Structure 1
Amino acid sequence: MNKFTALFAVAALTATAGLAQARDLGPDEALKLRDAGTIQSFEKLNAAAIAKHPGATVKETELEEQHGRYIYQVELRDAQGVEWDLELDATNGQILKDYQDK
Structure 2
Amino acid sequence: MKKLVALTCTTILTLGTASAFADDVRIDEAQALVSKGTIQSFEKLNEAALAARAGTITGTELEETAGKYVYEVEIRDAQGVEWDIDIDASNAEVLKIDQDD
The aligned counterpart of 1:25 is 25
Secondary structure of the structure 2 residue equivalent to 1:61? strand
Runs of 4+ in 1 over 6 A off after TM superposition: none
What CA deviation, in whole Å up to 9, does each residue of 1:31-52 have, x standing for no partner?
Answer: 0001111100001000000011
What CA deviation, in whole Å up to 9, does each residue of 1:60-99 have, x standing for no partner?
Answer: 0000001110000000001111100010000001111100
**Alpha-carbon distance in structure 1 between the residues aligned to 2:22 and 2:53:** 27
TM-score (norm 2): 0.80
- Match of 1:30, as an amino acid? A
Q: How many residues align?
A: 87
**Alpha-carbon distance in structure 1 between the residues aligned to 2:53 and 2:88:** 17
Secondary structure of the structure 1 residue equivalent to 2:78? coil
The percentage of aligned residue pairs carrying the same residue is 55
The aligned counterpart of 1:65 is 64
**Alpha-carbon distance in structure 2 between the residues aligned to 1:66 and 1:78:** 28
- Match of 2:93, as an amino acid? Q
Secondary structure of the structure 1 residue equivalent to 2:58? strand
TM-score (norm 1): 0.80
Secondary structure of the structure 1 residue equivalent to 2:91? coil
The aligned counterpart of 2:45 is 45
**Alpha-carbon distance in structure 1 between the residues aligned to 2:77 and 2:39:** 26
- Match of 1:21, as an amino acid? F
**Alpha-carbon distance in structure 1 between the residues aligned to 2:77 and 2:21:** 31
Give 5+ residue unaligned stretches, structure 1.
1-11
Report the alpha carbon displacement of residue 21 of structure 1 after superposing the two structures with TM: 2.4
Bigger radius of gyration: 1
Say what the alpha-carbon RMSD is for the aligned residues: 1.6
Secondary structure of the structure 2 residue equivalent to 1:72? strand
